Amino acid sequence: MPNDRPFTGILLMLGFCVLAPLGDGMAKLLGGAVVLGTLVLARFAIQAAVLVPLVLARGHDLRPPHGTGHLVWLRSALHIAGMTMMFASLRYLPLADALAIAFVMPFILLLLGRVFMDEQVGPQRMIACAVGFAGTLLVIQPNFVDVGLPALLPLGVAVTFALFMLVTRSLSGRIDPVRLQAIGGLQATILVSVGLLVLPGPQASFALPGTGALWLVVLMGLVGTAAHLLMTWSLRCAPASTLAPMQYLEIPFGTVIGWAMFGDLPNGLAACGIVVTVASGLYIIVRERNLARRTIPTAPA
């Protein structure tokens, strides 16, 4: 896109990388106290409750722009699927392990962006992604044999979230990010509510949590809303292939949050991985900032 601002997009994605694992940590804390269906419904209902009044106060409506309705509904369905699988995986896996397994997503996103959106993926970006992934392996050291079948849940998160980001990228130039998040939250609330009515099973139900858990549920919803709003803004400023390496910064942030919440302290090898991952992200920031400066046209005399 001619209006891309890579450095701004990278900074917004950095904010997402901080808030997203923080919201996941809160969801893990709530896993033993709140039914899965209730947790997912609360996440999207809070997003709608915060953003719908804001959009209406700005004089906008909640109808998708002409020709985008199917993409907006698809985006909401992908968001529900990814969020549900992530919350479910956190009931079985440590926060850092779930994030590490899900981080095949940037590779999927790079390929999808190249195939479907004709985005340029140069060798330096591919190298940065490879280095970042190597860093995540050092941080988490995932062992799929020990994890078992629940390891498939973060893999599902990776696929659905890559598609979610690709659809968001295609919509970001045609609809305001706040309006898109408001519509998505409202649509997801409707879809999840219908799902809880028709799907069987104890986890596909609604049960009001206690007072203590209720406040944490509200905070989780607010943090999650802010995180995905930042992600939506970032995709409006920069191509998905540019932002993909930045996603690896979720790993060191998630490791710190996992240690603070659950006492998972990384060992020496994991600390080296954090350095490698952060270094690859900082390399992308510096490189894209320099490229942005070079492409700014000089004003005529």
Digit-coded pLDDT (tens) for 29-64: 888 788 898 899 999 999 999 999 989 998 888 888
Mean pLDDT, the chain, as a whole number?
81
Phi, psi at 120, each rounded to 5°: -75, 130
Helices then strands (H, E): number in the chain? 13, 0
Angle at 284 between CA 278 and CA 290, to 5 degrees: 135
pLDDT of residue 71: 93
What is each CA distance from 182 to 86, 193, 235, 241, in whole angstroms?
A: 21, 17, 17, 26
- pTM of the predicted protein model: 0.78
Comparing 83 with 199, which gets the higher pLDDT?
83
pLDDT of 287 over the 50 cut: yes
Query: DSSP H helical segments within 172-299, as ranges?
Result: 177-198, 211-237, 240-243, 250-262, 268-295
CA atoms within 13 A on the CB side of 138: 19
The confidence score (pLDDT) of residue 130 equals 77
Give tens-digit pLDDT for 155-171. 889 889 888 888 888 88
Between CA 121 and CA 123 the distance in angstroms is 7
- What's the pLDDT at 121? 64
Residue 5: pLDDT band (50, 70, 90) is: confident
Percentage of residues of the chain with pLDDT beyond 70: 82
The tens digit of pLDDT for each residue in 103-146 reads 777 667 766 767 776 666 667 777 777 787 777 677 656 556 56
Rounded mean pLDDT, 228-249: 78
Considering the chain, what percentage of its residues have pLDDT values greater than 90? 25
Between the alpha carbon of residue 249 and those of residues 127, 143, 180, 202, 288, the distances in Å are: 16, 21, 25, 35, 16
pLDDT at 298 over 60: no
User: Which tokens go with 290?
Assistant: 């320099």
Residue 12 has pLDDT above 80, yes or no: yes
Distances (CA, A) of 72 to 47, 179, 180, 189: 16, 11, 8, 14
Question: What is the longest distance spanned by two Cα atoms in the chain?
Answer: 71
How much is the pLDDT for 61?
84
Please say whether the dihedral angle defined by the alpha carbons of residues 61, 173, 181 and 153, taken in this order, is positive or negative. positive
- Collapse the DSSP code of 174 into the 3-class scheme (helix H, G, I; strand E, B; otherwise coil) and give the result: coil
* pLDDT for the residue 241: 66
Buried residues in 248-287 as b, exposed as e (16+ CB within 10 A) = bbbbbbbbbbbeeeeebebeeebeebbebbbebbebbbeb
